[in-house]
A and B are shown apart, each in its own frame.
Chain A
Amino acid sequence: MPLLEVDALCKSYDGSAGAATLAIENISFNVERGEFVALVGPSGCGKTTLLMCIAGLAAPSGGRVAVKSQLVDRPPPDLVLVFQEYNRSLFAWRSVLGNVLFGLEAKGRGGKAADERARRLIGLVGLEGFERHYPWQLSGGMQQRVAIARALAYEPEVLLMDEPFGSVDAMTRLELEDALLAIWKELGTTILLVTHDIEEAIYLSDRVHVLARRPSRVVETVAIPLPRPRHQVTTRAEPSFMELRNRIYRRIADAG
């Protein structure tokens, strides 16, 4: 039984003239427990809408989403979404530690154990020593690390990430990719990540679902047999990496 099932999902918005705009038409895929899955597609293919539906923050117009066979009709307890705009999603009135503790407080966990777990996660994302800093005192990359630590402290079974490294600089992006892989290995959390960067999708994941737009759908699922642990230089230099990249690129380009 897959941990996450997305089955014939569609989502339309009411247009201003009464005509409905179709954001997603018929997307289906599964994510198995412990997997790292990437969704890659051109901008405008409804990726963010898709994640909002999976996270129970938007109601689909048709089809279904299930986590652990439970139909998602509200934010599921075992799943957390990390938003693309991490700077807007962090709580400005809470320190780094306070932000990371938020998810634990939401679960009704407090005291020393919660504090220790939050500090461990802060260490895992490489922010040790910044516990008392406030979000506005941190760089963009560091803010995104806080958002990731906050989500993981919650101990979700599924972590959804919406273009998590889309607005940080190139070097920070590579660093954060490796930090995420290290944490994934350590915690074994199932991750579904959305990106428009084909190479990032290949580098991080076990499987890549290729999305096309108009209508939004999964056009191909590509298994990524690259060995782990992966390495920014050697993995990306492998001939099979380039083959996968070219294959996915053509698939997206052909589908328009």
Chain B
Amino acid sequence: MRPSKISGFVALLAVVAAWELVARAGLVNPLLFPAMSKILASFLALLASGEIPAQIARSMERAAAGYFLAATVCIPLGVAMGLSERVYRALEVVVETLRPVPPPVVIPVAMLFLGIGDGMKIFVIFFSCAWPILLNTIDGVRNIDGLLVDTARTFGLARGRTILKVVLPAAAPQIMTGLRISLSITLILVVISEMIGSTDGIGYFILNAQRRLKVDQMYAGMIALALLGYILNQAFLFVSKRLLRGR
């Protein structure tokens, strides 16, 4: 393990220890601020009972659907806008008007049309994930060295295959940047949408625990989310490193 990682873990342990001490000393109302040992026990119990895994699984279904939908729509669209000035100009105004809309604002509108089911949440996640992926793809494609495309042309590569074999791999680092930004946005929006209108999912679980004053469970849900975010990011970095080898 690298020294920086070790010191990171030490810092984390220090925070946990400080939490425990503050809670045990009774400095804060224990109803609102239970000891970390109690929270962790509750977390492990919820993990063992399958409650947290089930809630996370529900959230992940929605997150994955919205995220991959955004990637499937926005990468090809971004390539088209990056390659063709005409397509770019045709869509530029639409993109620039919709993009500044804060994603949570879309939730009430989505609820009107789609109710409070999965469709609404997937749409909200899709809407918020779309922009980083789209804009980074456009930028990545536009910044490709023209010499790479000329190289493909001198080897007689047709346009469609040039996009697959040269444009996409050349723009891949920036497309991955967009996908990574959107990954963290996905997590935020799935939780918000579940807090506003849902009967399951980790966002609902956390809000519901708070309403029922099961404060230890609320914190346990937060720990689960933090771990989930960490694991997702690490998994993304792992895949991204494989995909971009040394770039």
- The tally of residues in B whose CB lies under 8 Å from a CB in A reads 21
B145 partner residues in chain A, CB cutoff 8 A: 88
Q: Is B156 an interface residue (CB 8 A)?
A: yes
Question: Out of B147, B165, B245, which one reaches A89, CB within 8 Å?
Answer: B147
Residues in A with CB closer than 8 Å to B60 are none
Whether the Cβ atoms of B154 and A93 lie closer than 8 Å is no
Binds B, one of A38-46, A76-84, A115-123: A76-84
Per the 8 Å Cβ criterion, residues 137-172 of B in contact with A are: 145, 147-148, 150-157, 161, 165-166, 169-170, 172
Q: How far is the CA of A134 from the CA of B169 in the complex (A)?
A: 14
Asked if B3 is an interface residue, CB under 8 A from chain A, the answer is: no
Residues of A within 8 A of B231 (CB): none
- Chain A residues near B102: list those with CB within 8 A: none
Query: Digit string of B209-247 for contact with A (CB within 8 Å is 1, else 0)?
Result: 000000000000000000000000000000000001111
Closest to B244 in A: A93
Interface of B, secondary structure class, is helix
Contacting residue for A91 out of B148, B153, B161, CB 8 A: B148
**CA distance in complex: A80, B152 (Å):** 10
Give the residues from 46 to 61 in chain A that come closer than 8 angstroms, CB to CB, to chain B: 55-57
Instruction: Point out which of A85, A106, A137 has the most chain B C-beta atoms below 10 A from its C-beta.
Output: A106
The answer to whether residues A89 and B151 also contact, given A105-B165, A134-B246, A136-B246 and a CB cut-off of 8 A, is yes
List of A residues within 8 angstroms of B154 by Cβ: 55-57, 75, 79-81
Query: What chain B residues lie within 8 Å of A79 (beta carbons)?
Result: 154
Beta-carbon contact of A106 and B157 below 8 Å: yes
Please report the C-alpha to C-alpha distance between residue A157 and residue B172 in the assembled complex, in whole angstroms. 34
Taking a contact as CB atoms under 8 Å apart, the answer to whether B148 and A88 are in contact is yes
Q: Are B150 and A83 in contact (CB under 8 A)?
A: yes
Q: Is the CB–CB distance between A93 and B155 below 8 Å?
A: no
